Homo-oligomer: A and B are copies of this chain.
Amino acid sequence: MERVYATYWIETPLELPRAAETLAGEQSSGTFVPVPGETEELKQRFAARVESVELLGEVAAPSLPGAKRGSRYQQGRVVVSWSVENFGNNLPVLMSTLQGNLYELSQLSGLRLVDFEVPDSFANHFPGPRFGVSGTRAAIAAPDDRPMIGTIIKPSVGLSPDETAQWVRTLLDAGVDFVKDDELMGNPGHSPFDARVDAVVRVVHDYQERTGRGVMIAFNISDEWDAMQRHYDKLVAVGGTCAMLSVNSIGLAGVKKICDHGELVVHGHRNGWGMLNRYPALGTEFAAYQKFWRLAGVDQIHVNGIENKFWEPDDSVVRSIEACRKPLLNGKRILPVISSGQWGGQAPETFRRIGTVDLLYLAGGGIAAHPGGPAAGVRAIRAAWEGAVAGMTLEQIASQSLEVREAVEKFGGAHCR
């Protein structure tokens, strides 16, 4: 029988191997005393199995409260496996098995799901992203020698449908490939979803007739189930191309169901992610996190950006992008969405670190608040990326481009620590 393999970073007051066995026991038998009916044969077949244990170091004090006392706390990497027979093709139960009550164990003073591997047979049930990198490029008709460039409608809340549409017209005229709603913007009274879509789509169709250029608008359909389904159907009906989902707030069951429709590109927003990741001894690594959403079928997922305005170090952002670029089953590749304080100045370092332009590069203020206006903002970002791909430094690029110079002047310090 095929198995699922999960890699954890753990910290424990116990000997590492014993902690690993406890972890495996909790997620296959799960009570504090042996119970009748738990035969050896049954254990063989269904028990989680510790595959490997690697000691990484030890610390004097526990990273999480509530752990059993120890004289020292060992840290290490453990691999545990389960027979797929335990859960079948059931993403929520897979998640409950790989994470679930493990974070509650007093035998652990730190736990992080690092990554997991699913067997090839999962491909039959989980086709993964229907569009991904290639499908998004095809819809946008963006050349593959540069990132797709997008922006967020700002202010996040408050604009009427007509004001939103006007602003979208300005952004499209400025040359962006992609425009998205903010995650705070769903279906509020002052900008009902249907009215906003109608107003914006009119502008998009008009723009495309004028220019022949492909663009993509990600409308935030995040809502309760029936409303979300209505929003999706509305987008399909008016010829929309992309639905945005706040994946953590909606959850796996809802997100997979939406992706399974397969008619729209799904833009996955990870807001809430910091809660699952910011403390290093708790939660999950992005490599594991993004895999759940890829299995669900999400096409694009947020990964933050180099020199972002948030807390996350560049190394972590780079690891996230690399995780997205690793193949998963036979599925299409998920498109990493770069954002947060981006204005083009980060292009050289981003390209140097990750060596690809298969990105959706989002700039909010970097476009809207460029001193030369949004069109200058987009030109600055394009110039920055062209230069980055050509191996130039930001200084070299700025010396050749007025818009980049203006951007450096205005934004160059805005995101600095």
> Which one, A198-206, A272-280, A327-335, A379-387, is touching chain B?
A272-280
Interface residues in A115-160 by Cβ distance below 8 A to B read 152, 154-159
Chain A 80-95, CB within 8 Å of chain B: the 1/0 string?
A: 0000011111111101
Assess the B257–A35 pair: CB atoms within 8 A. no
> Which one, A99-107, A234-242, A392-400, is touching chain B?
A99-107
Assess the A157–B252 pair: CB atoms within 8 A. no
Cross-interface CB contact of A272 among B28, B100, B222, cutoff 8 Å: B100
Interface size range on A against B: 35 or more
Q: Which residue of B lies closest to A250 (CB)?
A: B253
Assess the A246–B96 pair: CB atoms within 8 A. yes
Cross-interface CB contact of A223 among B92, B156, B271, cutoff 8 Å: B92
Chain B residues near A273 (CB-CB < 8 A): 103-104
Interface residues in A210-256 by Cβ distance below 8 A to B read 220, 222-228, 246, 248-256
Q: At the interface, is chain A mostly helix, strand, loop or mixed?
A: loop
Assess the B249–A37 pair: CB atoms within 8 A. no
Assess the B46–A249 pair: CB atoms within 8 A. no
A344 at the interface (CB under 8 A from B): no
A67 at the interface (CB under 8 A from B): yes
Chain B residues near A105 (CB-CB < 8 A): 310-311
Chain B residues near A85 (CB-CB < 8 A): 188-190
How far, in whole Å, are A254 and B90 apart by their CA atoms in the complex? 14
A30 at the interface (CB under 8 A from B): yes
> Which one, A4-12, A51-59, A281-289, A318-326, is touching chain B?
A281-289
In the complex, what's the smallest C-beta–C-beta distance from A346 to chain B, in angstroms? 13
How far, in whole Å, are A184 and B26 apart by their CA atoms in the complex? 10
A60 at the interface (CB under 8 A from B): no
A411 at the interface (CB under 8 A from B): yes
In the complex, what's the smallest C-beta–C-beta distance from A9 to chain B, in angstroms? 14
Assess the A186–B90 pair: CB atoms within 8 A. yes
Assess the A32–B154 pair: CB atoms within 8 A. no
A182 at the interface (CB under 8 A from B): yes
Assess the A34–B254 pair: CB atoms within 8 A. no
How far, in whole Å, are A187 and B158 apart by their CA atoms in the complex? 45
How far, in whole Å, are A152 and B37 apart by their CA atoms in the complex? 13
User: In this complex, which of A68, A224, A283, A310 has the most chain B Cβ atoms within 10 angstroms of its Cβ?
Assistant: A224
Chain A 390-417, CB within 8 Å of chain B: the 1/0 string?
A: 0000000000000000000011001101
Given contacts A90-B224, A100-B249, 4 further A-B contacts (CB under 8 A): A28-B156, A31-B369, A99-B272, A106-B311
**Interface set of A (CB-CB < 8 Å, partner B):** 27-38, 42-43, 45-46, 64-69, 85-93, 95-97, 99-106, 152, 154-159, 163, 167, 182-190, 220, 222-228, 246, 248-257, 260, 269, 271-276, 278-284, 304, 309-313, 340-341, 364-365, 368-369, 410-411, 414-415, 417
